[in-house]
């Protein structure tokens, strides 16, 4: 994988402020070949992604929003779950770096006598892909793929486990809109179905690394196990609060992120009804009034307006939901670019 444009110029020169390879202390600025979750990223690495994404935003603002960083490379987007926004976001990011993009919509099943994930991944590699962007309903599936893929694997969401690019774009969005440009010490509330949320889990890692005051709030049935995580995490110096008291959570919040509630949760006996959820935990204007003036409102999408978030809040003055979507393209460009660099210099997982 060459980062040089066909005319020989180093693409890094086209993108301002991206460290060229090694850091001042001789450490690799970016050493990861895959991005499976954000739990393995150090804070300097997270900052590097965000800085690189800032540069990518400048690229995206140009009249011709395209650089040749990944020209000749193929990015394969393999989704075992339906998705529009994440898939399109990766596709736009890869194309803005001049990569060829292959989209595969697949079905996963233990009973269907289909091709195994390992075979699929090996086939994709044999067809020449250097990066595999993967979404899968089974937690951990990208780890299996990474063991059998010679290039880079980016986890675009696995089961309940992780959604690392979402967490990074959420952090970028918060930094872009919070006064002072930092989330350190800011109260960030993640509200809703935490138990089944890969977005919540990945955000826990990045936000605690950033020094935010993280609160997880939702019905007790959808927070199960997180109190124990909070206790274990506090021992390691990463603190967060778990509560079903929505007023306590909302009070003086700087950021409120509502999570999608799925109808399956009632079928599974975890919630009495969506109506009751909306009444007790929905992000309404009244509840948002407990937060700081100008608090940011976020949602990873897709939204059930009127359930976990009221329409007037979703489109209200503090809402940065659309900004999350646009930040996503830059973050994914940054990661495609950094992972390609790590492959070129023999990076590790």
Partner 1 sequence: MSALAAEVARVGEVGEVVVDLEISRAWLVDPSSGREGPGELVVTDGVIDAVNWLSGDEADGVDDRGIIVAPGFVDLHAHFREPGDEDAETIASGLAAAAHGGFTTVCLMPNTTPALGEPSVLGRVRAAAAASGSPVEVMAYGAVSAGRAGETLAALGELADAGVVGFSDDGLPVRSATLLRSALAYAGMLGLPVVDHPEDASQTDGAEANEGLVATVLGLRGWPSSAEASAVARDLAILADVRADVPGARLHLTHLSTAPALELVRAAKAAGLPVTCDVTPHHLALTDAWLAGWRRFAWDEPWRPGATVEASLYETSVRVNPPLRSVADAAACRAALEDGTADAIATDHAPHTSVAKDVEFGLASNGISGIETALGLLLAAVDAGELSLGRALAALTIGPSRVLGFRPPTVPRGLVEGAPADLVVFDRSDSWTVTAESLASKGKNSPLVGRALPGRVLLTVAGGRLAYNAS
- Residue 125 as a binder of partner 1 (CB under 8 A): the answer is no
Instruction: Give the count of residues interacting with partner 1 (CB under 8 A).
Output: 33
The window from 221-229, 273-281, 313-321, 331-339 that contacts partner 1 (CB under 8 A) reads: 221-229
> Nearest-5° angle of CA 15, CA 151, CA 73?
50
CB 285 within 8 A of CB 244: no
Residue pair 299/258 in contact by the 8 Å Cβ criterion = yes
Q: Does 175 bind partner 1 (CB under 8 A)?
A: no
DSSP summary character for residue 162 = B
* Rounded CA Rg of the chain: 20
SS3 176: helix
220 lies in the site for partner 1, by CB under 8 A: no
Q: How far is it, in rounded angstroms, from Cα 116 to Cα 157?
A: 19
159 sits near partner 1 (criterion: CB under 8 A): yes
Of 132, 214, 202, nearest in space to 163 by CA: 202
Compute the least distance from the CB of residue 140 to partner 1, in Å: 3
Residue 108 interacting with partner 1 (CB under 8 A): yes
Between CA 193 and CA 213 the distance in angstroms is: 19
Span 126-155, contacts to partner 1 by CB under 8 A: 136, 138-141, 143-144, 147
Which of helix, strand or coil describes residue 152?
Answer: strand
**Rounded Cα distance, 123 and 149, in Å:** 9
Q: Which listed residue (160, 277, 281, 337) binds partner 1 by CB under 8 A?
A: 160
**x-or-dash pattern for partner 1, window 223-242, by CB under 8 A?**
-xxx-xx--xx-xx-x----
Minimum CB distance to partner 1 smaller for 194 or for 333: 194
CB-wise, 41 or 174, nearer to partner 1?
A: 41
Q: Tokens at residue 290, please?
A: 């407990």
Binding segment (CB under 8 A) for partner 1, from list 7-15, 94-102, 112-120, 270-278: 112-120
Residues 6+ apart with CB under 8 A from 112: none
Q: Is 158 in the site for partner 1 (CB under 8 A)?
A: yes
CA distance 149 to 152: 7
Applying CB under 8 A, does 162 fall inside the site for partner 1?
Answer: yes
Q: How far is the CB of 238 from partner 1 (least distance, A)?
A: 7
List residues binding partner 1 (CB under 8 A).
Answer: 39, 108-110, 116-118, 136, 138-141, 143-144, 147, 158-162, 198, 201, 205, 224-226, 228-229, 232-233, 235-236, 238
């Amino acid at each position: 994988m060459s980062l040089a444009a066909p005319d020989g110029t180093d693409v890094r020169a086209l993108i301002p402020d991206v460290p060229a390879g090694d850091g001042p202390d001789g450490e690799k600025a970016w050493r990861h070949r895959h991005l499976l979750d954000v739990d393995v990223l150090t804070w300097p690495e997270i900052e590097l992604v965000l800085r690189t994404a800032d540069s990518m935003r400048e690229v995206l603002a140009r009249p011709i929003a395209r650089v040749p960083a990944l020209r000749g490379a193929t990015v394969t987007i393999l989704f075992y779950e339906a998705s529009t926004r994440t898939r399109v976001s990766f596709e736009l990011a890869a194309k803005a770096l001049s990569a060829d993009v292959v989209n595969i919509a697949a079905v996963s099943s233990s009973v269907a006598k289909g091709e195994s994930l390992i075979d699929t991944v090996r086939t994709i590699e044999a067809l020449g892909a250097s990066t595999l962007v993967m979404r899968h309903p089974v937690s951990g599936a990208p780890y299996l793929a990474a063991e059998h893929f010679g290039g880079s694997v980016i986890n675009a969401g696995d089961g309940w486990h992780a959604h690392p690019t979402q967490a990074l774009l959420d952090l970028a969005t918060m930094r872009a809109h919070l006064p002072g440009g930092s989330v350190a010490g800011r109260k960030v509330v993640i509200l809703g179905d935490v138990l089944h949320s890969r977005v919540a889990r990945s955000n826990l890692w990045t936000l605690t690394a950033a020094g935010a005051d993280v609160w997880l709030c939702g019905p007790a049935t959808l927070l199960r196990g997180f109190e124990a995580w909070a206790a274990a995490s506090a021992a390691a110096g990463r603190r967060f609060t778990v509560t079903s008291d929505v007023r306590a959570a909302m009070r003086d919040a700087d950021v409120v992120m509502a999570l999608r509630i799925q109808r399956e949760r009632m079928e599974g006996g975890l919630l009495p009804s969506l109506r009751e959820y909306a009444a007790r935990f929905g992000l309404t204007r009244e509840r948002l009034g407990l937060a700081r003036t100008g608090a940011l409102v976020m949602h990873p999408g897709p939204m059930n307006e009127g359930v976990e978030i009221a329409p007037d809040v979703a489109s209200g003055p503090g809402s940065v939901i659309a900004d999350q979507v646009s930040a996503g393209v830059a973050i994914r460009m940054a990661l495609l670019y950094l992972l390609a660099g790590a492959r070129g210099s023999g990076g590790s997982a």
